[in-house]
Amino acid sequence: MAFPRWNHSILWMILIATVYQSKASVVINEVAYSGGGSACDGSDWVELLNNGTETAFLAEYVLHDDKGPGDSDSRAFDNATTIGAGEHLVL
């Protein structure tokens, strides 16, 4: 699955979520503008962390920058995307 390259507005990224599990908690854990060192080959990236005790289902989550959820660079997650308890997802 290919993810779009994020523009310089990544610092304004917003995570819009509807969480149905009471013991899952997804947060934006790290954000890198143009990568960090050799991470992601100089591309922008963001890390989501589930610091809860149950799997988080990301259906209905939308990740976007200041251009809004309708922008072509926004990322709507499908029903199959999950983050296990204590795990992270780097985009």
Residue 1 belongs to some domain of the structure? no
Distance CA 21, CA 55 (A): 8
Q: Are 27 and 49 within 8 A, CB to CB?
A: yes
pTM of the complete model: 0.67
| Under 8 Å between Cβ of 89 and 56 | no
Query: Is residue 3 one of the residues assigned to a domain?
Result: no
CA 89, CA 84: separation in Å to the nearest integer?
A: 9
pLDDT, tens digit (0-9, with 9 covering 90-100), for 63-85: 888 888 888 888 899 989 999 99
Q: 43 is written with which tokens?
A: 């591309």
Domain count, the chain: 1
Q: Which two tokens stand for residue 60?
A: 């209905």
Residue-range definition of the domain harbouring residue 49: 8-90
Per-residue pLDDT tens digits for 28-42: 898 887 655 666 677
